[in-house]
Amino acid sequence: MIKPHGSETLNPLYVADDAKRAALEVEAEGLPSIVVCSQAAANAVMLGSGYFNPLTGFMNLTDSMAVAEKMTTTDGLFWPVPIVNVVENADGIEAGMRIALKDPNVEGNPILAIQTVEAVETATDEQMAFMTDKVYRTDDIEHPGVKAFNSVGKTFISGPIEVLNYSYFAKEFPETFRTAMQIRDLIKKNGWEKVVAFQTRNPMHRAHEELVRMAMKRENADGAVIHMLLGKLKPGDIPADVRDAAIRKMAELYFPPNSVEITGYGYDMLYAGPREAVLHAVFRQNMGATHLIVGRDHAGVGDYYGPFDAQTIFHEEVPDDALEIKIFEADHTAYSRELGEVIMMREAPEGHKKESFVFLSGTKVRAMLSAGEDLPPEFARPEVAKILMKYYQSQDG
């Protein structure tokens, strides 16, 4: 099986030993505590799950700046985005202390992790602007990732963490949330050697479904892991439980048995385009995938990134030896009426008309489903469309 990133074995930061975890929970009750921001909580869950191997906790300001600038920590580890615990106010917190990190996304703010503080540093406005520009490639505060990063403070609390739970993800998505170690175990149990990972924050329509098939066939893969984001999205995106139901129905009806695993991970979307695509590759290697599908406008939002910037970054900025996982580069896929199948647009035969493709904008899809109109079967499986229609009509109702 493919090695994890940066180490020989996977080292998740979740405290799996029941007795040790119980003792830490008792200790945490007596520690100074802070309610972290949603992104820091998601970072803790990803660290606990093994997805951010080999990191041992939150980066300091120097490492954060180095990662932003050149995707490498000061000790030489390749890493695409800063993994940080940033707060507005760290009064009373000093290096050497142990503090309890409280979960902002669960009622009552239960303790999520314990952090051993190595440094407390406040970034300058110039440093925040530098990191923002490098990671998000824009300083537009309307960009959801830029807004999230710049609205929670400028004080970086760095140091290793011990993770005590997986926030709301394991409880709300018990059939879907899986750690990197659990997915490695699934891959091993299935006897898969070559494994394609598909990232999604949306329901999967026919084009996505066929793209997974294409990648599996062309890479001669034994199976695919459809790996959906379960954390916070921007307003208007379809909730995780609806996406989960739609994707499961598609896989159940339209993929051969034991060829696809439906899983999810606990993270908030950054919408960082190219940099986030590289992060996706890192943690898919950690979960055991050998290939990641990177399509048009992968992890993007609005018009902030070029359609294939998330592919170009792997050629222009990621060193050849940085990752073992391979990238399957995909174009926009759509159903061709002329050919009677879903194809990548760049592979359309000469003379193929653009109007022969079945295209529907997200706005059009929402309007049709809200009105109870069936989507064209060339665009969406009817069973999937039915689940989405129920959701949209409940919103309008």
Just list the catalytic residues: 201-202
**CA 2 – CA 288 distance, rounded (Å):** 6
Residue 143 CA from chain centroid, whole number: 17
Identity at 264, one-letter amino acid code: G
Count Cβ atoms within 10 A of the Cβ of residue 93 and give its class: 0-12 exposed, 13-18 middle, 19 or more buried.
middle
Distances (CA, A) of 333 to 1, 213, 241, 369: 30, 12, 25, 22
Q: Per this entry, what is the length of the chain?
A: 397
Q: Per residue, what are the HEC states of 195-264?
A: EEEEEECCCCCHHHHHHHHHHHHHCCCCEEEEEEECCCCCCCCCCHHHHHHHHHHHHHHHCCCCCEEEEE
With a CB cutoff of 8 Å and minimum separation 6, the contacts of 96 are 117
Instruction: Pull the structure tokens for residue 330.
Output: 């995909």
Tokens 């992890």 label which residue?
299
The DSSP H or E segment spanning 116 is: strand 111-116
Distances (CA, A) of 94 to 4, 26, 114, 115, 119: 33, 21, 14, 12, 7
Other beta carbons less than 10 A from residue 205's beta carbon = 24
Distances (CA, A) of 317 to 15, 165, 197, 204: 35, 35, 22, 30
Nearest to 51 by CA among 86, 95, 20, 6: 6
Instruction: Pull the structure tokens for residue 387.
Output: 């689940």
Identity at 59, one-letter amino acid code: M
Long-range Cβ contacts of 356-363 (<8 Å, 24+ apart):
358/334, 359/334
